[in-house]
Amino acid sequence: MEKNKINTRFLRFRIGQMGKFFREIPLPYLAVLLMMAGAVFYVLHSFLESPAGRTICGGALMAGVCFVHLRRKDYHFICMADERAWRVFFADYLLFSTPFLLLLLWRGGWLVAMGVVAGYAGVSLIRQPFRQVAKGFPVPAFIPFRAFEMRTLFRRNGGLLVVSYLGAFAGLLLPYASFAPLWFCVVFVTGGFRDCESIALLNAYEMGTKRFLHYKIRLNAGLYSLAAMPPCLIYTLIRPGDWRLALGFFVLAVLNIVLFIVSKYALYEPGKKIVSGQMSAGLSLMGILVPFLAPVTLFLLIRYYLMARRNLTPYLYAYN
Amino acid sequence: MLTIENLTVCYKKQEPVLKGLSLSMETGKAHGFAGLNGAGKTTLLNAIYGFIAPTAGQIVYNNQQVKRRDVAYLEAENYFYPYMTGREYLSLFPEGKAAFDIERWQRLFALPPDEITENYSTGMRKKLALLAVLKQDKPILILDEPFNGLDLESSFLLTTILKQLQNKGTTLIVTSHIYESLTGCCNHIHYLSDGIIKRSYPQEAFHTLKEQLQSAIDQQAGQLISQLL
**CA nearest to A194, candidates A125, A88, A138, A267:** A267
pLDDT confidence of residue B30: 92
Contact criterion met (CB < 8 Å) for A317 and B50: yes
Contact criterion met (CB < 8 Å) for A148 and B67: no
pLDDT confidence of residue A5: 62
Contact B182, B41 (CB under 8 A): no
Give A91-106 pLDDT, tens digit per residue: 889 888 888 889 888 8
Q: Is A130 on the interface with B (CB under 8 A)?
A: no
Contact criterion met (CB < 8 Å) for A133 and B118: yes
pLDDT confidence of residue A2: 54
Contacts of A195 in chain B (CB under 8 A): 81-82
Percent above pLDDT 70 for chain B: 100
Contacts of A132 in chain B (CB under 8 A): 118-119
Give B136-177 pLDDT, tens digit per residue: 989 999 999 999 888 888 888 999 999 999 998 999 999 988
Contacts of B118 in chain A (CB under 8 A): 132-133
CA distance B71 to A193: 29
**CA nearest to A300, candidates A190, A179, A181:** A190
Contacts of B117 in chain A (CB under 8 A): none
Mean pLDDT in chain A?
A: 85
**CA nearest to A160, candidates A179, A187, A193:** A187
Q: Where in chain B are the domains?
A: 2-228
CA distance B8 to B25: 18
Contact criterion met (CB < 8 Å) for A198 and B78: yes
- Closest residue on chain B to A195 (Cα): B81
Residue A234 reports pLDDT greater than 90: yes
Confidence band (pLDDT; 50, 70, 90) for B209? confident
Contact A213, A221 (CB under 8 A): no
pLDDT confidence of residue A4: 57
CA-CA-CA-CA torsion for A122, A123, A129, A132, nearest 10 degrees?
170
Please indicate whether residue A289 or residue B140 has the higher confidence score (pLDDT).
B140
Contact B110, A180 (CB under 8 A): no
C-alpha pair distances (Å), A67 with each of A61, A72, A91: 10, 9, 17
Confidence band (pLDDT; 50, 70, 90) for B127? very high
Mean pLDDT, residues A177-202: 88
pLDDT confidence of residue A134: 62
Residue A263 reports pLDDT greater than 80: yes
pLDDT confidence of residue A299: 87
Residues present in chain B in total: 229
Give B2-27 pLDDT, tens digit per residue: 899 999 998 877 788 888 889 899 88
Span of A3-17, A266-280, B214-228 with lowest mean pLDDT: A3-17
Cα A194 to the center of its chain, rounded Å: 10
Contact criterion met (CB < 8 Å) for B84 and A203: no
CA distance A36 to A281: 15
Give B45-74 pLDDT, tens digit per residue: 988 888 888 889 989 988 888 888 888 999
Find all residues with CB under 8 Å of B14, minimum gap 6, and list them: none
Contact B90, B131 (CB under 8 A): yes
pLDDT confidence of residue A229: 92
CA distance A132 to B78: 19
Contact criterion met (CB < 8 Å) for B88 and A148: yes
Considering the domain delimited by B2-228, tell me its CATH architecture: 3-Layer(aba) Sandwich (3.40)
Closest partner residue to B82 among A195, A206, A319, by Cβ? A195
Q: Is the whole-model pTM more than 0.80?
A: no
| A260: closest CA of chain B, how far (Å) | 17
Give B63-103 pLDDT, tens digit per residue: 888 888 888 999 888 889 989 999 999 999 988 877 888 88
